[in-house]
Amino acid sequence: MKICIVSDSHDRAQLLAAAVGAAKAAGAEVVLHCGDVIGGNTLRAALKLALPLHVVHGNNLGDPVAIAGLACDSDGLLCYHGMDAAIELAGRRIFITHYPHIGHGMACTGDYDLVCCGHSHHPLVRAQANIKGGSTWLVNPGTVAGLGAPAATWVLGDLALMKFEIRMLPGAGGSGL
Q: What is the pLDDT of residue 61?
A: 84
pTM of the model: 0.96
Q: What is the pLDDT of residue 142?
A: 98
Q: What is the pLDDT of residue 173?
A: 64
pLDDT digits (tens, 9 = 90+) for 49-65: 999 999 999 999 888 99
Strand partners, 85: 96
Residue 10: strand, helix, or coil: coil
| 5: nearest Cα among 85, 91, 117 | 117
Q: Do the strands 151-158 and 135-140 form a parallel or antiparallel pair, or are they unpaired?
A: unpaired
Domains in the chain with CATH codes: 2-171 (3.60.21.10)
| 148 close to 122: Cβ distance less than 8 angstroms | no
Report how far apart, in Å, the C-alpha atoms of 130 and of each of 108, 109, 110, 120 are: 4, 6, 5, 22
Q: What is the DSSP string of 82-127?
A: ES-EEEEETTEEEEE-S-HHHHHHHHHHT--SEEE--SSS--EEEE
pLDDT digits (tens, 9 = 90+) for 81-125: 999 999 999 999 999 999 999 999 999 999 999 999 999 999 999
Residue 61: strand, helix, or coil: coil
pLDDT digits (tens, 9 = 90+) for 124-165: 999 999 999 999 999 999 999 999 999 999 999 999 999 999
